[in-house]
Amino acid sequence: MSVQDSIKGFGVTFKQFLKSPETIDYPDQKTPVWPRFRGRHRLWLHDNGLEKCVGCSLCAAACPADCIRVVAEENTAENRVSAGERYAKIYEINMLRCIFCGYCEVACPFDAITLEAEYELSEPSRIAEIYDKDMLLAPSPKPVPIRTEPSGRQ
């Protein structure tokens, strides 16, 4: 190994000193994801506060991992939950089973369910991995930045 080679090598190293680092300071900082990233599910409300989901269970039918459980009930005048005749009394997704294929989103006739950017889905127990309707209706507790600029990597 000649001196020349060493200079060449250190040259590469010095060049990298001038660039901003590729590593991300996780968990203080999160990797931004692409807009079409499929992460944690979210159930949506209409503008008037009613749930978009009518408990039709089509998502459960489409789900290849069989991770969605929907138990429907009828809306009454006193207790109107959704815009249709029925609503989902129970809406559960087993996140351990989910393969994030997004078929539920495709199947939904009311755009009630979407797959969002959040990917931090570890929980302290298996039972806690079954997300219920209240969890799914709430805005993402661990928001993730969405990537907009093109990637430098291949």
Binding positions for another protein, rule: CB under 8 A: 54-58, 60-61, 70-74, 84-86, 109-110
Our CB check for another protein shows the closer of 9 and 109 to be 109
Minimum gap (Å) between residue 16 Cβ and another protein: 55
Q: Shortest approach of another protein to residue 87 CB, angstroms?
A: 9
- How many residues appear in the chain? 154
Residue 119: CA count within 13 A, CB half-sphere = 16
Q: Tell me how far, at minimum, the Cβ of 89 lies from another protein, in Å.
A: 9
Longest dimension (CA), the chain: 86
- Residue type for 16, please? Q
Give least dist CB 41 to another protein, A. 18
C-alpha span between 45 and 11 (Å, rounded): 57
CA angle (25 as vertex; 19, 26 as ends), nearest 5: 145
Nearer to another protein, 55 or 144 (CB): 55
CA-CA distances (angstroms) from residue 113 to 41, 44, 59, 94, 100? 7, 6, 9, 15, 13
